[in-house]
Structure 1
Amino acid sequence: MKITTHLVSAPLHTPFVTALRTATHADSLLVEISDGSVSGWGECPQVWKVTGESLAGAQACVEGPLTTALGDLGPDDLTEALRRVQGAVQANFGAKAAVDVALHDLAARRRGQTLHGFLGSTVSVVRTDVTLSAGDPEALAAAGVARVADGFDVLKVKVGTGNAAADFERVRRIREAIGPEPRLRLDANQGWNRRDAVSAIRALEDAGCDIELVEQPLPAPDLEGMAWVTDRVSTPILADESVYGVRDLVAVIRHGAADLVNVKLAKCGGLGPARTLLELAREHGLGSIVGSMMESHVGVGAAAALVSAYPTTTVNDLDAAWWLKEAPVTGGIRYEGSTIHLPTGAGLGVTGLTA
């Protein structure tokens, strides 16, 4: 198998603003694994504030120890290839995910199957929410109305800006503008402390803002604090940055730190580890969603294929590629409002780079 890496930077149609960063481009490392006739694709996004991985580091990891680990292994031994990838290095979850997905994609293509079909599913559509970037109340309210008009009925609002009262006003204005039907979920990106989180969530509950869930209200290591918040509010709490792998999820479960978990390929290392996390969550009564970083149709397509085969308990967070002004690849998934249409062609349906 031949492994090739491609550095890509895809412009967004609108700046993506959170409590952690402002993005105008989706910067990723695409990994292409070829058997000489067909290629499988995978993606590692650069998200400094979350995973800490750089594109340079991911590229070095893929071209160095991960390529070495695969050695002269043939394309038909997927199980052994995936085992070697996960054992080759510590951490480097985004790099591992890119190779893991590319290997799955290649295996599906060699069999003439879609990736979701290869994973055991016949479901060709999945739903996603859409994120409203951080901003002032009026701008967010207008954005909420626009996204509902675009066909989205689950909106995610970025909060945790350091001012809980301002966060409350933003959410209140959005709910007022969009009416009672669309679902609202919040993502604090670790931006609150314990007392501010409880105060803000309770205020929203008392105001009848009908919040579906609150994602990662506290810094990732503070599981005791997450449990403290979870115990004091009625709104479900979703763990994101607190969970990369199985040990993290076990710790969340033991602490009672969250009601749901957000599984992301670039955090856990690929489709194999993601399936384990989803199964573990289900066994222990935790809800689940599958999310994405700022990724292209490659990374989001793989996550959507996972959702198709391993359904989650609520609408997923897979709008990343919707934000792209121009895709770095041809083919793949297609958005239609809140619906992601999976490809009918083999694998991820990606046919190559756009340039």
Structure 2
Amino acid sequence: MKITTHLVSAPLHTPFVTALRTATHAESLLVEISDGSLSGWGEAPQVWKVTGESLAGAQACVEGPIASALTGLEPDDFTEALRRIQGSAQGNFGAKAAVDVALHDLAARRRGQTLHGFLGSTVTSVQTDVTLSAGDPESLAAAGVDRVADGFGVLKVKVGTGDAKADFERVRRVREAIGPDPRLRLDANQGWSRRDAVTAIRALEDAGCDIGLVEQPVPAADLEGMAWITDRVSTPILADESVYGVRDLVAVIRHGAADLVNVKLAKCGGLGPARTLLELAREHGLGSIVGSMMESHVGVGAAAALVAAYPTTAVNDLDAAWWLKEPPVLGGIRYEGSTIHLPTGDGLGVTGLSA
């Protein structure tokens, strides 16, 4: 098997603003694995403020320890290859995810199947929410109206600005602008204190803003704080940055820290680990969604294929590639409002890099 890496920088049509960062481009490492006639694709996004992983680090990991671990294996050594990827290095989950997905993609292509078909699904589309970037109340309200007009029924509002009262006003204004039917969820990106989180969430509940869930209200390591919040509000709490792998999810379960978990390929290391997390969450009564970093049609396509085969309990967070002006690859998933249409071609449906 031949491993090739490609650095891509895809401009966004609108800046993506959170409590942690402002992004104008999706910076990613695309990984291509070839058996000589067919190629599988995977993606490692650069997200300094979340995973701490860089493109340079991901490229070094893919071309170094992961490539060494796969030396001597044939494309048919699929299960052994996946096992070796996870043991090749500590951390580096984005790099591991890129190679894991590329191998899944290649295996599906060798069998003449779509990736979601290879994972066991006949579903042809999945649903996503869309994020409203952090901003003042009026700009958020206007963006909310625009996104509903674009066909999205679930909107995610970025909060956690450090001012709980201002966050309340932003969300209240969005709800007022879009009306009662579209669903709202909030993402604090670790930006609240536990007390501010409870104050803001209770105020939104009392105001009838109908919030479906609140994602990662406090810093990732503060499971006691998140459990404290979960016990004091009616709105479901979703763990995101608190959960990378199985050990993290077990800790969330033991603390009673959240009602749901957000599983992301670039956090956990690929489709194999992601399936384990979704199954563990289900076994212990936790809800789930599958999310994405700021990545392209390759990474989001793999996450969408996972959702098709392993249904979650809430609408997923897979709008990342929707923000791109143009995809960096040819083929793959296609957005139509909140619907992500899965490819009909083999694997991820990606046929190469765009010009």
TM-score (norm 2): 1.00
Deviation at 1:209, TM superposition (A): 0.2
Report SS of the residue matched to 1:157: strand
Q: Which residue does 1:182 correspond to in 2?
A: 182
Deviations 1:234-271 (A, max 9, x none): 00000000000000000000000000000000000000
Q: Which residue does 2:32 correspond to in 1?
A: 32
Deviation at 1:330, TM superposition (A): 0.5
**Correspondence list, 1:1-355, <5 A:** 1-355=1-355
Deviations 1:85-137 (A, max 9, x none): 00111110000000000000000001110000000000010000000000000
User: Given residue 211 of structure 1, which amino acid in structure 2 is its aligned partner?
Assistant: I
User: Given residue 323 of structure 1, which amino acid in structure 2 is its aligned partner?
Assistant: W
Query: For the residues of structure 1 that align with 2:67 and 2:124, how far apart are their CA atoms?
Result: 32
Gaps of 5+ in 2: none
Deviation at 1:77, TM superposition (A): 1.3
Between the aligned residues of both structures, percent identity stands at 90
Query: For the residues of structure 1 that align with 2:226 and 2:52, how far apart are their CA atoms?
Result: 22
Deviation at 1:229, TM superposition (A): 0.3
Deviation at 1:191, TM superposition (A): 0.1
Gaps of 5+ in 1: none
Query: For the residues of structure 2 that align with 1:54 and 1:320, how far apart are their CA atoms?
Result: 18
Deviations 1:164-187 (A, max 9, x none): 111000000000000000000000
Query: For the residues of structure 2 that align with 1:77 and 1:66, how far apart are their CA atoms?
Result: 15
Query: For the residues of structure 1 that align with 2:97 and 2:42, how far apart are their CA atoms?
Result: 7
Query: For the residues of structure 1 that align with 2:305 and 2:285, how far apart are their CA atoms?
Result: 23
Query: For the residues of structure 2 that align with 1:137 and 1:226, how far apart are their CA atoms?
Result: 26
TM-score (norm 1): 1.00
Deviations 1:137-184 (A, max 9, x none): 000000000000000000000000111111000000000000000000
User: Given residue 293 of structure 1, which amino acid in structure 2 is its aligned partner?
Assistant: M
Deviation at 1:72, TM superposition (A): 1.6
Query: For the residues of structure 2 that align with 1:29 and 1:124, how far apart are their CA atoms?
Result: 27
Query: For the residues of structure 1 that align with 2:240 and 2:271, how far apart are their CA atoms?
Result: 17
Deviations 1:264-317 (A, max 9, x none): 000000000000000000000000000000000000000000000000001000
Query: For the residues of structure 2 that align with 1:5 and 1:161, how far apart are their CA atoms?
Result: 37
Deviation at 1:18, TM superposition (A): 0.2
Query: For the residues of structure 2 that align with 1:158 and 1:348, how far apart are their CA atoms?
Result: 30
Deviations 1:40-73 (A, max 9, x none): 0000000000000000000000000000000020
Deviations 1:211-233 (A, max 9, x none): 00000000000000000000000
Deviation at 1:327, TM superposition (A): 0.8
Query: For the residues of structure 2 that align with 1:148 and 1:294, how far apart are their CA atoms?
Result: 21
